[in-house]
Amino acid sequence: MPGNSETAALLDSHPDFSYGHVLRLLYSLRPEVRLLTGIAIATFTFNSVTQQRAIAESEGVRWHNFQPFLRCASSQIEGSFSSFFKCVVLSQIIPDNQPASACALAIQTIMGTLEHSQSKPILALAADCVGRLAHTRAGAVNWEQHCSKRKIISK
């Protein structure tokens, strides 16, 4: 867990805990459950290659778990930005899509939003996503380099 090694150690030591319990929620009939499950998984794996490996060795995540949330209606835009974040954080453990492709789609969409949106709430969501991704280490590919080349962060 980000910044909480005690919680991670507690989960690892608990005999009944398995990421499989959490991963099965990605197949819920309720979209909000699937969305929140993806967020939880991204949180578990944020900056932790060990946790990413544990999830991959459980049942893992698949590209189709995130696709429905990548192109949401404007009323569900927060879910889209959560999905962009998840795609970058989890890109190394999504076996049915290339990590670079997952990251590129997410980053391209976030950057396009920052460049073209006039909506302050949407720009705030995009900027929040950039801020969170700027702190990732596990699995992210040259995120900061991409942003600085496009000079978006300074806007």
The Cβ of residue 130 has, within 10 Å, a number of other Cβ atoms equal to 22
Contacts of 154 (CB under 8 A, 6+ apart): none
Complete domains list, the chain, with CATH: 5-150 (1.25.10)
From the list 75, 66, 71, 54, the residue with the least C-alpha distance to 122 is: 75
Please report which confidence band the pLDDT of residue 138 belongs to, taking 50, 70 and 90 as the band edges: very low
Please report which confidence band the pLDDT of residue 125 belongs to, taking 50, 70 and 90 as the band edges: confident
Distance CA 29, CA 92 (A): 26
Kindly report, residue by residue over 79-117, the tens digit of the pLDDT: 678 788 888 888 888 888 888 888 888 888 888 888 888
Return the residue matching tokens 């578990």. Answer: 44
Kindly report, residue by residue over 1-43, the tens digit of the pLDDT: 445 677 777 877 888 888 888 899 999 999 889 988 988 888 8
Amino acid 144: pLDDT? 47
Please report which confidence band the pLDDT of residue 137 belongs to, taking 50, 70 and 90 as the band edges: low
Quote the pTM value.
0.70
